[in-house]
């Protein structure tokens, strides 16, 4: 079992539908670079791609396999926003800063769509609406406030209310709800395509090379069991899997277990989600149609050391159909105490984590922002 292969990713729908991927060598030498990136998920890959495109010599060191962290095993739901609602952001930060942050969330959506197009990524992108079902009447009132805040303060008519009848047109479930613009895709294929773009831009990759020690006293030195990278700067993109190499940053990370199940193909799949959209509800249950007409669903539950059995059972209970499960996997996502992404620097070390359940599009943006900070 490799560093990031736990919780059954080998038996997931994601790996079953993955594009062929190159294997990269273990780091066995001492090499010099402008930038060392630790972590081969979307945050690290996006940082590596952007840095290489700016002409930097970049080495990316991944403890397990590229893409096998949260980035390659998530629900693939492309939800525009930050991990707080627009109303919460305004309350916390005031109108101007809230709007500036929200603009970044919109930029992230455009950035990912642009990358998929520019690099002709084969990740089954589906740009659809994103219905969100409400579990209680109180949720509906919150949705109404949110819509008003989005329209008046964020300048963004991104969401609208749906009646129960309108929800039925999108998904066969007894919801009231709201509707966002959004989409979904195969996350492992997107992540692997991002790695391919980074490799084409000149990034050197090393897999199965866990960084065990990070020294930043005189430039950066990232040490693995058999080699080391000396660089002017580092990007720490280890997300929920970082292991005791920079405690001040890691102490802000709370790993959350999240689980995905795919059911056997349904005879009436098209009738279950006629809109072909990814759907979520206010109980943290998410669902999306997959190419083989299966439905994938994920649910999160706080767990420092998740055990797959009980969590898969919890997720399966959320699945409305009675068909059996063909794939199941889980993973860790990093959540911060503020629920907002934690992006910053400590000297020559730049870091980003905490995109929570919105990292499918946000993590690509934060990786790019880190490189803009490094360059500027």
Ligand X SMILES: Cc1cc2nc3c(=O)[nH]c(=O)nc-3n(C[C@H](O)[C@H](O)[C@H](O)COP(=O)(O)OP(=O)(O)OC[C@H]3O[C@@H](n4cnc5c(N)ncnc54)[C@H](O)[C@@H]3O)c2cc1C
Q: Give the up-direction half-sphere exposure of residue 49: CA atoms within 13 A in the CB hemisphere.
A: 24
DSSP-derived secondary structure letter, 27: P
Helices 359-375 and 187-200: crossing angle, nearest 10°? 20
Cβ distance to ligand X smaller for residue 162 or 229: 229
Instruction: Compute the distance between CA of residue 41 and CA of residue 51 in angstroms, rounded to an integer.
Output: 15
Cβ proximity of 157 and 80 under 8 Å = no
Nearest approach in angstroms of CB 129 to ligand X is 16
Nearest approach in angstroms of CB 96 to ligand X is 26
User: Angle at the Cα of 258 (from 256 to 261), degrees rounded to 5?
Assistant: 170
Nearest approach in angstroms of CB 295 to ligand X is 13
Residues in contact with ligand X by CB under 6 A are: 3-4, 38-44, 61-64, 68-71, 73-77, 79, 210-211, 237-239, 241-243, 245, 258, 260, 286, 298, 330-333, 353, 355, 357-360, 363
Cβ distance to ligand X smaller for residue 88 or 166: 88
Cβ distance to ligand X smaller for residue 197 or 260: 260
Question: 61 to each of 147, 332, 362, how far by Cα in Å?
Answer: 42, 19, 21
Cβ distance to ligand X smaller for residue 168 or 216: 216
Nearest approach in angstroms of CB 141 to ligand X is 25
Cβ distance to ligand X smaller for residue 4 or 50: 4
Residue nearest to ligand X (CB): 359
| Nearest alpha carbon to residue 14 among 360, 283, 368 | 360
The residue ranges of DSSP E strands in 48-157, in sequence order, are 58-61, 77-79, 126-133
Instruction: Compute the distance between CA of residue 346 and CA of residue 87 in angstroms, rounded to an integer.
Output: 31
Cβ distance to ligand X smaller for residue 268 or 309: 309
Nearest approach in angstroms of CB 153 to ligand X is 23
| Nearest alpha carbon to residue 288 among 199, 185, 189 | 185
Nearest approach in angstroms of CB 324 to ligand X is 20
Place of tokens 């084969």: 122
Nearest approach in angstroms of CB 355 to ligand X is 4
Cβ distance to ligand X smaller for residue 83 or 89: 83
């Amino acid at each position: 079992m490799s560093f990031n292969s736990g919780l059954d990713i080998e038996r997931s729908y994601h790996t079953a539908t993955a594009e062929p991927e190159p294997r990269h060598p273990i780091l066995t030498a001492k090499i010099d670079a402008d930038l060392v990136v630790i972590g081969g998920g979307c945050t690290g890959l996006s940082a590596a791609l952007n840095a290489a495109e700016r002409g930097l010599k970049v080495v990316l060191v991944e403890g397990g396999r590229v893409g096998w962290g949260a980035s390659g095993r998530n629900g693939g739901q492309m939800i525009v926003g930050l991990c707080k609602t627009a109303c919460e952001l305004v309350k916390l930060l005031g109108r101007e800063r809230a709007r500036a942050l929200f603009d970044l969330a919109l930029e992230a959506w455009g950035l990912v769509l642009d990358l998929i197009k520019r690099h002709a990524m084969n990740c089954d992108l589906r740009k659809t609406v994103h219905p969100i079902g409400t579990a209680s009447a109180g949720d509906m009132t919150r949705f109404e406030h949110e819509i008003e805040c989005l329209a008046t303060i964020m300048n963004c008519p991104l969401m609208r209310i749906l009646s129960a009848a309108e929800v039925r047109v999108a998904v066969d479930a007894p919801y009231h709800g709201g509707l966002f613009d959004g989409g979904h895709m195969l996350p492992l294929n997107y992540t692997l395509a991002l790695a391919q773009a980074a490799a084409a831009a000149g990034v050197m990759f090393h897999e199965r090379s866990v960084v065990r020690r990070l020294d930043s006293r005189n430039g950066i030195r990232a040490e693995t069991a058999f080699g080391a990278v000396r660089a002017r700067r580092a990007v720490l993109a280890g997300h929920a899997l970082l292991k005791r190499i920079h405690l001040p940053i890691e102490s802000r990370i709370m790993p959350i277990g999240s689980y995905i199940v795919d059911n056997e193909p349904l005879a009436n799949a098209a009738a279950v989600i006629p809109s072909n959209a990814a759907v979520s509800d206010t109980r943290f249950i998410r669902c999306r149609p997959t190419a083989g007409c299966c439905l994938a669903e994920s649910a999160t539950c706080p767990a420092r050391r998740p055990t797959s059995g009980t969590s898969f059972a919890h997720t399966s209970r959320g699945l409305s159909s009675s068909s059996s499960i063909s794939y199941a996997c889980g993973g860790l996502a990093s959540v911060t105490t503020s629920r907002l992404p934690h992006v910053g620097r400590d000297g020559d070390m730049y870091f980003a984590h905490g995109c929570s359940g919105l990292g499918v599009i946000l993590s690509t943006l934060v990786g790019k922002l880190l490189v803009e900070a490094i360059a500027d």
